[in-house]
Each structure stands twice: as C-alpha cells, then as structure tokens.
Chain A
Amino acid sequence: MRRVRSPVTRALAVATALAVAQCSGDNDYVCDQTAAAIVLPTSGTSISLRGRACVEGADGFVPIFGVFVASQDSSTALIRLSVADSVTGAEVSVSEFPRIGLEVTPLHCDKGVVITVENMEPASKEPLTALVWFEADVEEFSRCEVSLEAL
C-alpha cells in the first residue's frame, strides 16, 4: 500500500532531513589560506607577522583561524609559536605542537593578530626552516580573504 503524505508533512520531512544533514556534518571549510616561509638563523631569533582575516558573514559569524608551524624535523626542532589577538588582547603560546586556533570576528579585518615564531633550539648550528600557515575556516557560502605582512 502506498502512503500518501500531505504537502505540509512532506515539507516538514524535507526540512527535518536538511537540518539533520546540516548538523550531522562539519560544514566548515578552508575559505582562504596563505603561508610564510620562515628562516630563523640562530637560537633565540624570532620573527613577527601581522595576520588579517576579512570574512563576509552574518552577525555573530565566528570563523576559526588555524595557525601552525612545521619545520624540517618537527620531532626535534623546537619552535615557539605565539599569537596575540589584537582585538581581544588574548595571547596564546605553544611550543610542543605548534598549532593554534583562534576565534575571530569582523574586527579582525582591521586589527588582525600578531604571530610570532621563535627558534627555541638550545644550540642551533644550522638555520631553522619553517612554514607558518594562516587560514580562515568558515561556514559554507562565506567569502573571506587572509593576508600576512611584516611587522
């Protein structure tokens, strides 16, 4: 026997299915990304960059910044990555696994964040080669642009 659904029931079923599909998965995607190839010649040397993220979205839209560093031998090379949020004043620093996520708002388009990478090797004879990724992860259908510049 074939079940007959009213248009309202059908619309509700479709809406529910869409809502479930929307909530069940992670809809964030990398909207834009840029990178800085870094060389830190000796122990204790550091470089600071300003990262800006301009995100087009609705009110309260909060994307996540993923910032991380990789070195030629991430198991032994010791790097400290610090991010200072110029909007909230918050500061985050990690050294063991240099990856930081920050929530950002449209205000970060102007003020951005300050990213500092420091060579923490006790006695580095060779320059440390690294890469700083700066990206915006946003909800679907949002547009954004990220940039890095020297301080």
Chain B
Amino acid sequence: MKSAWRIGSAVVTLLAVDCNWEQCDLESVEFQLPAPGDAIEIRIEACTDRRDGGARLTMEISAHGKPTAPLGLVVDGIQLRPEVGMRWVADGAFSDLASDADCAPGKVITLRRLDADPAIEYRGSISVDMTAPRRRSCTVMISVSPL
C-alpha cells in the first residue's frame, strides 16, 4: 500500500513537472538560394540557463520554377524527407535536452546547389521552438550566411 502511494506520488510529480514546461523562445528565418552554385550555412544556437530546455526544429525547402533538367541540392546536418511538389521537409526534436554543445557551437546545416538551372530558385524556412521549465530563460538564435 505504501509503495503504491509512493508510485502514485511520483507519477503526479512527473506530470506536474511536465505541465510546468512552457515555450521560452521561438525563432524563424527564411532563406533563398536563387542562383546555381549558391551555398548557405544556417547556424542555430539554442541556449538555456540551466541546460534543461528542449528544442523542436521544423524546416521546409522547395524549388520554384519549371525545371528543364535534373536539380540537385546537397543538404548536410539535418534529415529531410521528400514531399509532393518539389518540396522537402524536416521536423522533430533538435535535442531531448539542450546541451552546452547545442548552444555553442550550436547546430550547423549547410545547403549547396548542384544544378545549373538559372530558371529555378530554392526557397526555405526554418523554425526552432524552445521549451523549458517555468521561469527558466532560453534563447534561440538562427543565422544564415553565404558560403
């Protein structure tokens, strides 16, 4: 009876802790690769004050225009999946718990165009949503720079 009470208390405590988590930062950035040969680096720095935040990342890339030849875009640092209509998406946990490494140097994603079709433009967006226990602070910074 005593152990059942202890287990029940532990479950209630865990649920209460979970309920106390809330969004502490949200950052979204759009990017483009308008010309053949273009390459960019996306750096995400997800920082929490006590290493107990979680981050969720969503990303979408699509090719615009009518391709006349095969297109290729090399993507490093994230697991995409193809969708209908020349689109690729990724969503999922950035990290179960944001660690020091998620803050510095952070997560780096690189995109590099392989095709030579000037009629095609790649556009995309990336969003990172961070949660942490109530009253804890966190910051998400996303920077996009050409390579």
Contact = CB atoms under 8 A, between A and B. Distances in A.
A38 interface: yes
Dominant SS among interface residues on chain A: strand
B73 A40 contact: no
Interface in A113-142: 126-127, 129-131
A39 B86 CA distance: 7
B65 to A, nearest CB: 10
B61 interface: yes
Given A129-B82, A129-B88, A45 B75 contact: no
Given A129-B82, A129-B87, A34 B75 contact: yes
B114 interface: yes
A135 to B, nearest CB: 10
Contacts of B87: 129
A37 B67 contact: no
Contacts, number: 77
Bin chain B's interface residue count. Answer: 20 to 34
Interface residues of A, number: 25
A149 B114 contact: yes
A34 B76 contact: yes
Task: Name which of A37, A126, A127 has the most chain B CB atoms within 10 A of its CB.
Answer: A37
A107 interface: no
Interface string B61-73: 1010001111111
Given A39-B71, A129-B82, 11 more contacts: A35-B79, A37-B61, A37-B71, A37-B73, A39-B63, A41-B67, A47-B71, A49-B114, A126-B85, A127-B86, A131-B88
A40 B86 CA distance: 10
A104 to B, nearest CB: 19
B81 interface: yes
Given A37-B61, A37-B75, A131-B88, A45 B82 contact: no
